[in-house]
Structure 1
Amino acid sequence: MFTDNYLQKVYSQVEQRDGDQPEFLQAVREVFESLEPVVAKHPEYEANGVLERLVEPERVVKFRVAWVDDEGKTQVNRGYRVQFNSAIGPYKGGLRFHPTVTESVVKFLGFEQILKNSLTSLPMGGGKGGSDFNPKGRSDGEVMRFCQAFMTELCRHIGQFTDVPAGDINVGGREIGYLFGQYKRIRDEYSGVLTGKGLEFGGSLVRTEATGYGLCYYTEEAMRVLNNDSFKGKTVAISGSGNVAIFATEKAAQLGGKVVTLSDSNGYIHDPKGIDLDVVKDIKLGHRGRIKEYAERVAGSEYHEGCAGVWTVKCDIALPCATQNEIDGDSAKTLIANGCKVVCEGANMPSTPEAIEAYQAAGVLYGPAKAANAGGVAVSGLEMSQNSYRLSWTFEETDAKLKSIMENIVTNSLAAAKEYGHEGDLMLGANVAGFTKVADAMVAQGIL
């Protein structure tokens, strides 16, 4: 699989130890495929066991979460926190509440988070967590009791200088508020231990918009540098309808694009005139409804069952913002056949290896998730800074910092790709730029 013996040896060890964790194996393989020229140039990485240590989390916490539903019945879920790497800062990464959460999913997300956080240039290590709890259909009281039970265990393992979780799928402002309140009650301290908090208690402006806005800033800059192009006049297909998708839609429209699709786990909408975002916000942020309501309210739009169909809609730019592996090889080929020239990822690892191969073979501008969706954790890092300073920056100040960070990620990724003989390869560049900073820090700190 790998021409470099060191990479092959370490990957084989991962397969042997974690063969039952397909998402984690996929993430490791994708990164390792980019690192062959780096490892060959830096023998000190092998001498210090950098890769062996990189793929093994510093700590994995798995725990029972018992809580009581509205009918008085005891429910039990599993909770996880993977503290992957702290070489360049405290562990930082979101919490995901979804039935698909497993140790493999949390480990793949945490592994990606190491490099993503490194790319932001902010001092943050990599971690991730969550639970197989599904808040959809649950009352506020049930969500509160679950979050309190979850934090009762998690609070032993986190802190503003140790591990600072944030939100992810199904963990928004409501859930972060309940988690923060429980942490504060148990620990009797008011600290920046969570990001994504409400503005009333230490949150940052732009945090809600950050991943979606950052995705578009990254895409716009990559198109400008590589293709002398922009969003202006382009048709954009976006999947998902959570915060990332909603605010990617908003920013893409501000930059001159026309977004024509959104989706949820049941199906997708297609509005050839361009998505009416006010309607989507009312459905999704107003009453947590299903995306099919859009077609019932907006004339000329269509709803189709099956979320994968979103990639059959003709577009110039595709921004997958739903979940991992949502674009397979066949979907990627359909996108390309329909004229798509740019794919940048708002979700985590939304493209399968076969899809990525198809993008690269067709010359599609491909922005990998660890780079393209780093805006969320970037503003989380800015929230940590504001908490430490005990002050708040304006929306304009924070947005300008976010834009600068995303543009720098493009610059640094392209510089790393060029250094290692792969000019213009944003995926290899992101992996190399993120990895080398962490690897050098690991070597400097000794074998830990």
Structure 2
Amino acid sequence: MEQGLENLRNEVFRRNPGESEFHQAVTEVFEALGPVVNRHPEYVESGILRRMCEPERQIIFRVPWVDDNGSVQINRGFRVEFNSALGPYKGGLRFHPSVYLGIIKFLGFEQIFKNALTGMPIGGGKGGSDFNPAGRSDAEIMRFCQSFMTELYRHIGEYTDVPAGDIGVGSREIGYLFGQYKRITNRFESGVLTGKGMSWGGSLVRPEATGYGAVMFADQMLRTQGQSMDGQTVIVSGSGNVALNAIAKSQQLGATAITASDSSGYVVDEAGIDLDLLREIKEVQRGRIAEYAEQRGGNARFVADGSVWDVPGTVALPSATQNELDDKAAQILIKNGLVAVAEGANMPSTQKATELFIEAGVLFGPGKAANAGGVATSALEMQQNASRDTWSFEYTHDKLEQIMTDLHDRCLETADRYGAPGNYVVGANIAGFVKVADAMLAQGVI
């Protein structure tokens, strides 16, 4: 890392103590920026980098709500509005007990560059709460969402900040949040949230977009080597929305996805995951992954210990959560003949794992590029809301595919231009950074 960048990174660490995920995200970006700051020292001299690491606004608030037993519960809510140089803040809400300010800041910082890479006019932000929806009734989740929005509504708007879903926030939660926003503001402002239901302003392809986009990106990477997803053996982690749709798109393109996981363990199905069965268990029954092996029978098996990354495959799609794939797992995957990784989750590979993949010549699509399909389709949903229009599945899917193809090519071309051919981490970070930095320079000291 360049000395000037290292000094600035250390300053960021000092000003944001204890936020390890945010530190990791900043380090990954800074390690890629050496070539660009050497050619364009004005990015450092103007303070752009320092400003980009400081959120424009950080909102923390109390969320009181009443559970089904009549007891008052308290959670903490967050919204970090990181950068609006390209457009309104855009990024999801995460409801999970692990949420604290450092995770929201890491996600928001990543979102700046991810959103820039899509080519859409959206800035970067993120939010959420340490509320855990698991095991809660629909009524409890509704009361929590209503309380959360009672504070959040004053900070968002279709031209200001447009939240969406993330871990723990699906169509049910978005519905409750939107209903409360409408109730408080007396406006049907459909563009204020994305991930909405189709009957009230949502977009076709949005539920599939993150998982589909990651597989599209993997396919584009493989095509640079004369291969494709057709015939690949795919290792997928997670069993939420991203993982399920990554499995679906892999199968559509001729690959065999053989794994899925949750916090209790993972399943291996060498014949290929039965997606209908897995959806029934995870989305309808809200069951555990072990139930898949029980109901599937045959050679499908559940493994309670170990790691899903122990399973041999040629393409890995980490689609669960941050830092789920470490250097030990990377070494096993490489030994087992891995060809490509496309990150469906946000920063699921540790920094050391990423380095090992790149050193081994494994095609590596970082999350800010590979999983940008979700926020890209959210921006398409905003377009439809603004024009009071609804697009067909095929039309929206084609737009997503074009966005992911262009994004892949932009990363590859940028990496080549800055002396790191084939390095998608360098290409993604520099391409996203330059777009945002140039906008900030044009707008003055912001």
TM range (shorter): over 0.9
Match of 2:155, SS? coil
Q: Residues 378-437 of structure 1, C-alpha deviation per residue, up to 9 Å, x if partnerless? A: 000000000000000100000000000001111000111111111111110000101100
Q: Residues 289-331 of structure 1, C-alpha deviation per residue, up to 9 Å, x if partnerless? A: 111110110112111114x610000101000000000001000
Matches within 5 A, 1:407-446: 407-446=405-444
Structure 1 position 9, deviation (Å) = 2.3
Matches within 5 A, 1:217-236: 217-225=216-224, 227-236=225-234
Match of 1:155, SS? helix
In the comparison of the two structures, how many residue pairs are matched? 444
- Once residues 391 and 79 of structure 1 are traced to their aligned partners in structure 2, the CA distance between those partners, rounded to angstroms, is 33
Return 283-292 or 270-279, whichever deviates more: 283-292
- Once residues 266 and 242 of structure 1 are traced to their aligned partners in structure 2, the CA distance between those partners, rounded to angstroms, is 14
- So what's the TM-score if we normalise by structure 1? 0.98
Matches within 5 A, 1:23-42: 23-42=21-40
Matches within 5 A, 1:59-70: 59-70=57-68
- Once residues 159 and 287 of structure 1 are traced to their aligned partners in structure 2, the CA distance between those partners, rounded to angstroms, is 35
**Residues 416 and 432, structure 1, Cα contact 8 Å, conserved in 2:** yes
- Once residues 67 and 178 of structure 2 are traced to their aligned partners in structure 1, the CA distance between those partners, rounded to angstroms, is 21
- Once residues 374 and 289 of structure 2 are traced to their aligned partners in structure 1, the CA distance between those partners, rounded to angstroms, is 23
Identity fraction in percent: 58
Q: Aligned partner of 1:209: which letter? A: E
Q: Aligned partner of 1:109: which letter? A: L
Q: Which residue of 1 aligns with 2:117?
A: 119
Pick from 341, 349, 352 the counterpart of residue 354 of structure 1: 352
Q: Residues 59-79 of structure 1, C-alpha deviation per residue, up to 9 Å, x if partnerless? A: 000000000000000000000
- Once residues 91 and 392 of structure 1 are traced to their aligned partners in structure 2, the CA distance between those partners, rounded to angstroms, is 23
- Once residues 84 and 228 of structure 1 are traced to their aligned partners in structure 2, the CA distance between those partners, rounded to angstroms, is 39
- Once residues 146 and 2 of structure 2 are traced to their aligned partners in structure 1, the CA distance between those partners, rounded to angstroms, is 49
- Once residues 337 and 221 of structure 1 are traced to their aligned partners in structure 2, the CA distance between those partners, rounded to angstroms, is 23
- Once residues 265 and 130 of structure 1 are traced to their aligned partners in structure 2, the CA distance between those partners, rounded to angstroms, is 20
Structure 1 unmatched ranges of 5 or more: none
Q: Aligned partner of 2:281: which letter? A: I
Q: Residues 218-274 of structure 1, C-alpha deviation per residue, up to 9 Å, x if partnerless? A: 11111112x111111111000000010000000000100000000011110000111
Q: Which residue of 1 aligns with 2:276?
A: 278
Matches within 5 A, 1:88-107: 88-107=86-105
Matches within 5 A, 1:13-412: 13-191=11-189, 192-225=191-224, 227-299=225-297, 300-306=299-305, 309-412=307-410
**Residues 110 and 126, structure 1, Cα contact 8 Å, conserved in 2:** yes
Q: Residues 82-116 of structure 1, C-alpha deviation per residue, up to 9 Å, x if partnerless? A: 00000000000000000000100000000000000
Match of 2:128, SS? strand
- Once residues 164 and 135 of structure 1 are traced to their aligned partners in structure 2, the CA distance between those partners, rounded to angstroms, is 22
**Residues 116 and 374, structure 1, Cα contact 8 Å, conserved in 2:** yes
Match of 2:324, SS? coil
Q: Aligned partner of 2:61: which letter? A: F
Q: Aligned partner of 1:263: which letter? A: S
Q: Aligned partner of 1:223: which letter? A: L
How big is the alpha-carbon RMSD for the aligned residues of Structure 1 and Structure 2? 0.7
- Once residues 287 and 89 of structure 1 are traced to their aligned partners in structure 2, the CA distance between those partners, rounded to angstroms, is 39
- Once residues 259 and 220 of structure 2 are traced to their aligned partners in structure 1, the CA distance between those partners, rounded to angstroms, is 23
Which aligned segments of 4 or more residues in structure 1 are displaced greater than 2 angstroms?
Answer: none
- Once residues 303 and 338 of structure 2 are traced to their aligned partners in structure 1, the CA distance between those partners, rounded to angstroms, is 21
**Residues 96 and 167, structure 1, Cα contact 8 Å, conserved in 2:** yes
Q: Residues 313-355 of structure 1, C-alpha deviation per residue, up to 9 Å, x if partnerless? A: 0101000000000001000000111111111100000000110
- Once residues 355 and 424 of structure 2 are traced to their aligned partners in structure 1, the CA distance between those partners, rounded to angstroms, is 14
- Once residues 45 and 440 of structure 2 are traced to their aligned partners in structure 1, the CA distance between those partners, rounded to angstroms, is 12
**Residues 4 and 36, structure 1, Cα contact 8 Å, conserved in 2:** no
Structure 1 position 19, deviation (Å) = 2.4
Match of 1:184, SS? helix
Structure 1 position 47, deviation (Å) = 2.6
**Residues 98 and 170, structure 1, Cα contact 8 Å, conserved in 2:** yes
Structure 2 unmatched ranges of 5 or more: none
